[in-house]
Amino acid sequence: MSVRHALLALLGEGPKYGLQLRQEFEAGTGDVWPLNVGQVYMTLQRLERDGLVAADEDADEGPQKCYRITEAGREELMSWLGPPLDTGVPPRDELVIKVLVALRVPGVDVVDLVQAHRRRLVGMMQYFTGVKAEADERDGGLLLVADAEIYRLDAVIRWLESAEARLRQGVDLRFPSAPLSPVALRRRQRGMRR
Query: pLDDT digit string (tens) for 50-102?
Result: 999 999 876 555 567 899 999 999 999 999 898 877 666 777 889 988 998 88
What are the distances in angstroms from CA 8 to CA 60, 70, 159, 187?
22, 9, 34, 39
d(CA 46, CA 55): 12
Per the rule left: phi > 0, alpha: psi between -120 and 50, beta: everything else, 75 is alpha
Pick the CATH number of 3-81 from 1.10.8.10, 1.20.1250.20, 1.10.10.10, 2.40.50.140: 1.10.10.10
Portions of the chain given CATH number 1.10.10.10: 3-81
Q: What is the pLDDT of residue 184?
A: 65
What is the predicted pLDDT for the residue at 179? 59
Which residue(s) pair with 69 in the sheet?
53
Report the SS3 class of residue 183: helix
What's residue 65's pLDDT? 86
Which residues in the chain land under pLDDT 70? 1, 58-63, 86-88, 173-194
Instruction: Check residue 64 and give its pLDDT.
Output: 76
> What is the structure's pLDDT at 52?
96
